[in-house]
Amino acid sequence: MIIRAALPREIPEIVGIEQIPEYRSYIGAWSAEEHFRAMADPDNEYFVACSEGAVDGFAILQGIESEHHSVHLKRIAVRTPNRGCGKLLLEYGMSRAFLHHRAHRLWLDVFETNTRARSIYESYGFRYDGALREAILRDGEYHTLALMSLLDREYSARQQQGVNAVTSAVRL
């Protein structure tokens, strides 16, 4: 598996992953036009995990030019869960945010019911920052978002302990 910058021609595959019906309770979904606009924005970074020419997953960083050095992991999703792809994408996103973009803070929001994603973020040192109570209305129901973040010094400490080691096995 390779993780690299996404290409505009891969947007249909990204849209296809976002629209997996079970993900509707966990992530937003944009139109292809919205993705084209977002991908062209220099404040955003898209990357994909690929194998055999197909997109297995993607992630989007926003705010890479933030004056506050606060980068937002806007979205992350994989085509087939529980095969390790999400962790690779997250590690790559963390390395881009902290090592390349020199972020001070990497933050995200996650549906509080998304136990898989939350446990992954926690396992990478993200801390709970609070909740946006009933902030999202979807299919007639309000959903609460948990806010989580990781700071540069926390990332560095983990790097020194060698705990973010999955990507060493991946060609980046």
Ligand X SMILES: CC(C)(COP(=O)(O)OP(=O)(O)OC[C@H]1O[C@@H](n2cnc3c(N)ncnc32)[C@H](O)[C@@H]1OP(=O)(O)O)[C@@H](O)C(=O)NCCC(=O)NCCS
Stretch that binds ligand X, among 34-42, 116-124, 135-143, 155-163 (CB under 6 A): 116-124
Smallest gap, in angstroms, from Cβ of residue 64 to ligand X?
18
Stretch that binds ligand X, among 6-14, 63-71, 91-99, 115-123 (CB under 6 A): 115-123
Residue nearer to ligand X on the CB measure, 87 or 104: 87
| Residue type for position 100 | H
Q: Are 15 and 29 in contact (CB under 8 A)?
A: yes
Smallest gap, in angstroms, from Cβ of residue 94 to ligand X?
13
Q: Helix 11-18 vs helix 32-40: angle between axes, to the nearest 10 degrees?
A: 120
Smallest gap, in angstroms, from Cβ of residue 120 to ligand X?
5
- Considering only residues 61, 77, 103, 150, which one is a binding residue for ligand X as defined by CB under 6 A? 77
Q: How many CB atoms lie within 10 A of CB 5?
A: 11
Task: Measure the CA dihedral 131/99/170/74, to 10°.
Answer: 30
- Residue 86 interacts with ligand X (CB under 6 A): yes or no: yes
- Residue 23 interacts with ligand X (CB under 6 A): yes or no: yes
Q: Are 107 and 147 in contact (CB under 8 A)?
A: yes
Q: Are strands 70-78 and 105-111 parallel, antiparallel or unpaired?
A: parallel
List 142's β-bridge partners, or say none: 137
Q: In the complex, which residues of this chain contact ligand X (CB under 6 A)?
A: 23, 26-27, 76-78, 81-87, 108, 110, 114-117, 119-120
